[in-house]
């Protein structure tokens, strides 16, 4: 197979990190940017990483997909609050065999995009990484960095494997996983920690230090696992919740993406991280009362936080 070409739609903490790693490894990567387009166009991208800092002094930077070439692989790193923008952003990047990888948080993302683009090849990208972009063109990678790819609708197994190989050759720990299991596996961490750091205005380490919040985080994780089990995903059990708790204890104190969105008065990704999975689980006969309560608190906080911005 010929060398693949890539586009990153949403060059933030996650899309920017993986795109920069691929570009550093010699892949052709085109970057779509918004607020820091001019900065990146002039200065490139910089990654401060626990695995070693690096910079890309010059990258193909764009402020519109209409000026970007069609590519073999689109890595979508947009916040899911902007999911509707993909209707107009994706078409200029597509050719008949393009694979779109949604490196986003939540449940139901691929189903919605597939409805908009029925013949499109889609995969989920589940990133396990602590990373943030708080300055123009500067990504701060704190720890972890692996990614799991779950095939949603790609019939071209050679293309899918080539993407995995490109990630691995770029020094990224990448693996193929079952799609549905991977989405719910990621939700076991995302649903408790994203919302709780906002609701209680804290970071991950503090939540696990206090006995009351530690117990609540565990109970929320078990709600997600119960929902996954009700949907036929049997590989998740109590041991996975314990593993996630231990992994989080070993992390640096961390503010997840939803906490950063709240702090910067940006809309929070409540629909796909909370509302959609809660509704999906309820349709399967499994209520999630603790997480539904958290969802309602987040809806209130989101409305208050963005009212004047």
Mean pLDDT by runs of 10 across the 309 residues of the chain is 94 96 98 96 96 96 98 97 97 98 98 98 94 91 93 98 98 97 96 98 98 98 98 97 96 92 96 98 98 98 87
- Check: CB of residue 101 under 8 Å from CB of residue 131: no
Which pLDDT belongs to residue 308?
66
- β-partners of residue 135 are 138
Q: Which residues are catalytic?
A: 186
The H or E element spanning position 56 is strand 54-56
- Check: CB of residue 269 under 8 Å from CB of residue 261: yes
Which pLDDT belongs to residue 162?
98
Q: Phi-psi bin for 144: left (phi > 0), alpha (psi -120 to 50), beta?
A: left
Burial of 302 (0-12, 13-18, 19+ CB in 10 A): buried
Burial of 309 (0-12, 13-18, 19+ CB in 10 A): exposed
Question: Where are the domains positioned within the chain?
Answer: 5-177, 181-306
Which pLDDT belongs to residue 220?
98
- Check: CB of residue 222 under 8 Å from CB of residue 238: yes
Angle formed at CA 184 by CA 73 and CA 234, multiple of 5 degrees: 120
One CATH from 3.40.50.10240, 1.10.1040.10, 3.30.310.50, 1.10.1200.10 for 181-306: 1.10.1040.10
What is the reported pTM? 0.94
One CATH from 3.40.50.720, 3.40.309.10, 3.10.20.600, 3.40.350.10 for 5-177: 3.40.50.720
- Cα 209 to chain centroid distance, Å, stands at 26
Rounded CA separation 99/94 (Å): 8
> 40: Cβ–Cβ under 8 A, 6 or more apart, which residues?
11, 31, 33, 59, 61, 136, 137
- Check: CB of residue 130 under 8 Å from CB of residue 111: no
């Amino acid at each position: 197979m010929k060398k693949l070409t890539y586009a990153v739609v949403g060059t933030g903490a996650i899309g920017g990190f993986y795109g920069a790693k691929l570009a550093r490894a010699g892949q052709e990567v085109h970057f779509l940017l918004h607020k820091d387009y001019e900065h990146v166009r002039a200065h490139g991208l910089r990654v401060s990483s626990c695995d070693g800092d690096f910079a890309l002094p010059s990258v193909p930077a764009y402020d519109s997909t209409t000026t970007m070439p069609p590519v073999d692989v689109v890595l979508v790193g947009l916040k899911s609050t902007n999911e509707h923008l993909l209707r107009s952003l994706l078409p200029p990047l597509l050719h008949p065999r393009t694979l779109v990888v949604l490196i986003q948080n939540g449940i139901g993302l691929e189903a919605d995009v597939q409805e908009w683009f029925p013949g499109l090849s889609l995969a989920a990208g589940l990133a396990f990484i602590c990373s943030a972009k708080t300055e123009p063109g500067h990504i701060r990678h704190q720890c972890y960095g692996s990614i799991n790819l779950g095939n949603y609708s790609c019939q071209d197994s050679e293309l899918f494997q080539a993407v995995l190989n490109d990630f691995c050759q770029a020094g990224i720990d990448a693996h193929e996983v079952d799609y549905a299991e991977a989405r719910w596996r990621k939700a076991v961490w995302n649903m408790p920690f994203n919302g709780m750091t906002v609701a209680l205005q804290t970071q991950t380490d503090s939540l696990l230090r206090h006995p009351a919040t530690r117990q609540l985080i565990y109970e929320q994780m078990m709600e997600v696992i119960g929902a996954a089990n009700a949907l036929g995903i049997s590989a998740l059990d109590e041991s996975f919740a314990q593993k996630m708790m231990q992994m989080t204890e070993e992390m640096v104190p961390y503010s997840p993406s939803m906490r950063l969105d709240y702090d910067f008065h940006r809309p929070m990704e409540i629909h796909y991280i909370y509302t959609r999975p809660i509704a999906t689980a309820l349709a399967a006969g499994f209520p999630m009362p603790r997480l539904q309560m958290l969802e309602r608190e987040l809806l209130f906080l989101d409305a208050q936080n963005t009212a004047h911005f």
